[in-house]
């Protein structure tokens, strides 16, 4: 159920961001057109310069409004995610108040069949349990 809410909130965020970008684009175009009209009716260089400065201020305001809208959309998505986060988890100990299992970072080398590229490996997080802190149940390998 929560995955559906997260997908919907992601779609709402994307739609909101698209709308904010479209509005900013329209506002910027409007500012450019207003500048052209003001420059055509201007009689001296100072008036033309003022028209350009007004346009730049309008364009900057449109960009700021777009960024604020995107931040608000992200915050709303995060609220939806956070609202469902504490309701349950597949991770051991999550949401129960119990301590989490320890995790151990290990690097395992991997090479394409028939090739030794000389590159490193991938980092794997292996759950630890028991007094020695060693298991190998995820891969069948013994870490220690």
pLDDT tens-digit profile of 107-117?
555 555 555 55
For residue 136, the model assigns a pLDDT of 47
143 and 134 Cβ atoms separated by less than 8 Å: yes
Measure the CA–CA gap between 125 and 136, rounded to whole angstroms. 11
Of 76, 59, 56, 58, which Cα lies nearest the Cα of 13? 76
127 and 103 Cβ atoms separated by less than 8 Å: yes
Span 9-33, mean pLDDT? 96
| pLDDT tens string 55-106 | 999 999 999 999 999 999 999 999 988 887 655 555 555 555 555 555 445 5
Phi/psi of residue 87, nearest 5 degrees: -85, -10
For residue 66, the model assigns a pLDDT of 97
Is the predicted pLDDT of residue 33 greater than 70, yes or no? yes
For residue 86, the model assigns a pLDDT of 58
């Amino acid at each position: 159920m929560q995955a559906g809410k997260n997908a919907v909130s992601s779609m709402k965020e994307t739609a909101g961001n698209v709308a904010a970008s479209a509005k900013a684009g329209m506002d910027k175009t409007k500012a450019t057109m207003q500048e052209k009209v003001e420059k055509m009716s201007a009689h001296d260089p100072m008036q033309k310069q003022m028209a350009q400065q007004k346009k730049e201020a309008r364009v900057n305001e449109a960009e700021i409004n777009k960024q604020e809208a995107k931040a608000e959309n992200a915050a709303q998505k995060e609220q939806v995610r956070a609202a469902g986060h504490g309701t349950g988890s597949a991770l051991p100990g999550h949401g129960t108040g119990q301590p989490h299992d320890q995790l151990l970072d290990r690097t395992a080398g991997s090479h394409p069949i028939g090739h030794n590229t000389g590159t490193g490996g991938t980092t794997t997080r292996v759950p630890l349990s028991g007094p020695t802190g060693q298991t190998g149940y995820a891969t069948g390998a013994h870490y220690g």
